[in-house]
C-alpha cells in the first residue's frame, strides 16, 4: 500500500506541477480475514455519519446501505 501511495502521489504532483503530501495521514490497512471481519468493517463505515453527529440513527442518513445491516439494532 505504501508503494501505491508513494507512486500515485508522485504522479499526481508531477501532472499538476505541485509538491507535498497527497494522501491523508492516519490511513491504516485492515486485512479482512473472514465474513465477521467484513461485517465489523461495514458496521464501522455505516456508523461514520452517526459518530460525526450528522444524524442520530443510521436510518436517517440517506446515503447508507449495507448487505449486513438493516437497522441501527444491527450495529451491536
The predicted structure's pLDDT at residue 15: 96
> CA-based angle 16:18:24, to the nearest 5?
100
List pLDDT tens digits, range 20-42. Answer: 888 887 766 777 888 888 888 88
Under DSSP, is residue 56 helix (H, G, I), strand (E, B) or coil? Answer: coil
Domain boundaries, the chain: 1-30, 33-76
Per-position b or e across 43-72, b if 16+ CB within 10 A of its CB: beebbebbeeeeeeebeeeeebeeeebeee
pTM for the predicted model, two decimal places:
0.56
Amino acid at each position: 500500500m505504501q508503494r501505491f501511495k508513494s507512486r500515485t502521489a508522485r504522479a499526481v504532483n508531477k501532472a499538476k506541477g505541485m509538491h507535498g503530501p497527497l494522501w491523508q495521514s492516519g490511513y491504516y490497512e485492515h486485512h479482512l480475514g473472514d465474513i465477521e471481519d467484513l461485517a465489523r468493517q461495514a458496521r464501522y463505515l455505516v456508523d461514520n455519519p452517526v459518530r460525526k453527529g450528522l444524524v442520530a440513527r443510521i436510518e436517517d442518513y440517506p446515503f447508507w446501505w449495507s448487505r449486513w445491516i438493516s437497522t441501527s439494532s444491527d450495529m451491536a
